[in-house]
Every structure is written in C-alpha cells, then in structure tokens.
Amino acid sequence: MSTNLTQAITANRLSDGFVVYLTAQDQWSERIEDCQSADDPRSAETLFARAQHHADSGQIVGPYLFKIVRDGGHPVPLSRREIIRTTGPSVGTDLNLK
C-alpha cells in the first residue's frame, strides 16, 4: 500500500555520480521502477541502514530517503527535485547543439 509516508532510497553512484535507487535485491538500479519502498518509519529506517552500509563500502554516495507515491504500482517522486533526478535535465542535454 502507498501512503503519505511511502519512501524510497536514492543516492549517486560513486563511479559516475549517476542517480541510483536501492532495490529489494540490495542492488542499486538507475531505474526508479526497481526501487524498494517503505511504508512506515521503521521500515524506512531499516532501508536507510542498508543504504548506509553501501555508502560505507564505497559503492554509492550520499544516500537519503525521499517521498514517493505509487501510481498504478509505479513509484513517482513527490518533489520536483526528485522527479528531475529521475528523468534527467528537463531541458535535455542536446538542445542548442548542432
């Protein structure tokens, strides 16, 4: 179930800084669809502890929890910032280029 408290974990990958999400398989995926979510503060805390472990081992940088809603099962970030992190720059990266 998706509640106001539904959260997932994101971070930046050490090697290239790309946005990644913590999965249920304890991996990091570039696709938000793969994220594991937590519906209550306690499971969010557990999720974060797992992410911190990965940060300590140097795979990823700066993990944090962020709020999502489930739209037809798909995780959608609530904040504009996280939406942009999910989709990439809203202006693309090849405008103004020949």
Partner 1 sequence: MYRYDEFDHAFVAERVTQFRDQVARRISGELSEDEFKPLRLMNGLYLQLHAYMLRVAIPYGTLSALQMRKLAHIARTYDRGYGHFTTRQNIQYNWPKLGEVPDILAELAAVEMHAIQTSGNCIRNTTADPLAGVAADEIEDPRAYAEIIRQWSTLHPEFSFLPRKFKIAVTGAPNDRAVTRGHDIGLRMHLDNAGAAGFEVMVGGGQGRTPIMAKTIRAFLPVDQLLSYLEAILRVYNQLGRRDNIYKARIKILVQNVGVEAFADLVEAEWRHIRDGALDLPTEERDRIAAYFSPPPYDDLSEDCPALDNAIDAHPHFAAWMESNVQAHKQPGYAIATISLKPHGGIPGDASAAQMDAVADLSEQYGFGEIRVSYKQNLILPDIPKADLYALWLVLDRWDLATANAGRISDIIACPGLDYCNLANARSIPIAQRISERFSDLARERAIGDLSLNISGCINACAHHHVANIGILGVDKKGTEFYQITLGGVANENATIGSIIGPAFDEWQIADAVETIVDVYLQQREKDEPFIDTYQRIGPDPFKEKLYATDQAR
Contact positions vs partner 1 (CB under 8 A): 12, 14-19, 55-58, 61-62, 78-81, 84-85, 88-91, 93-98
β-sheet bridge partners, residue 68: 77
Which of residues 43 and 52 has its CB atom nearest to partner 1 in the complex? 52
Report in angstroms how near the CB of residue 42 gets to partner 1 at its nearest: 25
Q: Which tokens hold the place of 14?
A: 């050490």
CA distances from 83 to 7, 46, 78, 97 (A): 14, 24, 7, 25
Which of residues 49 and 97 has its CB atom nearest to partner 1 in the complex? 97
